[in-house]
Amino acid sequence: MYYVTKRLEISASHSLKLNYSSKCKTLHGHNWIITVHCKSEKLDQHGMVTDFTHIKRAIFESLDHKNLDDILPFNSTAENLAKWLCDQIFNCYRVEVQESEGNMAIYESS
Amino acid sequence: MYYVTKRLEISASHSLKLNYSSKCKTLHGHNWIITVHCKSEKLDQHGMVTDFTHIKRAIFESLDHKNLDDILPFNSTAENLAKWLCDQIFNCYRVEVQESEGNMAIYESS
Amino acid sequence: MYYVTKRLEISASHSLKLNYSSKCKTLHGHNWIITVHCKSEKLDQHGMVTDFTHIKRAIFESLDHKNLDDILPFNSTAENLAKWLCDQIFNCYRVEVQESEGNMAIYESS
């Protein structure tokens, strides 16, 4: 099996809708470090799984320096963001979204 | 599958009960770096696996700046600590307890 | 199962053959960080899976400070390079080729 992983950083703002007290309900921002994992049993005609540049473009153009609440049609948790990205990127099966030094959410397709 | 990982650091003291000579039998302390892994096939109503803040609170309130020997009902090894934490945190399946730069214990539920 | 991993860095030049616009088509270079993973159920007569020195030699003698386009009989993507290395190293089952801070390709034999 061939794999590629692309790691990049976006800056954005968001807030969470929660029915309990949390500072995350206030509009705030992060530098999210996003790691995209793609895999394929066979390489394409160029000898690639997924072009790194195409992954970068898909994430940056939609999310960097934006307000995630305006873009995502659901509560903008790191878990939801990970799945949303995974669904959009060719050959992607796992996305890690690191929201801060200690907090990471991961979506992995079955 | 959705995953979250929460990494944090606690400072505490402890000593080990051993029937052989060891400097670990003397009361001493560490900065333990604890990494908690939770997973769930479905997200909750807020789009989360387990709220990062709830994980942090569970660990900090019980262990940080305490003497583990006063809290844990067993020999306070990193192995025992890892399992004890795993059993208490919602959706948790794996806990890594790094006691020093080179020493890590891991508990993973089957 | 016994495992060894050997991590090293080579400097080389290469260019890619692509049928779309990309700066990778120009001859350029990288410091590739290569991580080789070998495994074996039993150790050899010396108590080893694969001698670290043999892994280093296999990679350095063929690739370091060379033009990959002159050596590899295919498009010199990180994916193709990972498989080519895996096929040559005794007991190797996985090779990671990190081309830049954010970009890594991996080949893992089934």
Q: Quote ipTM for the complex.
A: 0.85
- Per-residue pLDDT, C1: 78
Average pLDDT value for residue range B51-63: 94
pLDDT at residue B85 tops 90: yes
Chain A nearest-CA distance from C45, in A, is 31
Chain C CB contacts of A7 under 8 Å are 101-104
> What value does the mean pLDDT take over residues B90-99?
93
The total number of residues written for chain C in this structure: 110
- In percent, the amount of chain C with pLDDT more than 70 equals 100
pLDDT higher than 90, residue B18: no
C-beta separation of B13 from B65 below 8 A: no
C20: tokens are: 């779309």
Is residue A15 helix, strand or coil? Answer: coil
Q: Which of A41, A48, A96 best probes binding to C when mutated, by most C CB atoms within 10 angstroms?
A: A48
Q: What is the pLDDT of residues A42-52, one digit of tens each?
A: 999 999 999 99
> Residue A22: left if φ>0, alpha if ψ -120 to 50, beta else—which one?
beta
Q: What is the pLDDT of residue C69?
A: 95
pLDDT value for B34: 97
Which helix (H) or strand (E) segment is A106 a member of? strand A103-108
Spell out the residues 6+ positions from residue A61 whose beta carbon is closer than 8 angstroms to its own: none
A53 to chain B, minimum CA–CA distance in Å? 26
B93 touches chain A (CB under 8 A): no
Tokens of B65: 């700046």
pLDDT at C73 over 90: yes
CB contact under 8 A, A43 and C79: yes
Predicted confidence (pLDDT) per residue in A72-110, tens digit: 999 999 999 999 999 999 999 999 999 999 999 999 998
Average pLDDT over residues C19-41: 93
| pLDDT for the residue B79 | 87
CA distance linking residue A55 with residue A47, whole number of Å: 16
SS3 B60: helix
Q: Min CA distance, C90 vs chain A (Å)?
A: 18
Q: Where would I find the H helices in chain A?
A: 52-63, 68-71, 78-88
Among the partner-chain residues A1, A45, A53, the one whose CB lies closest to the CB of C110 is A1
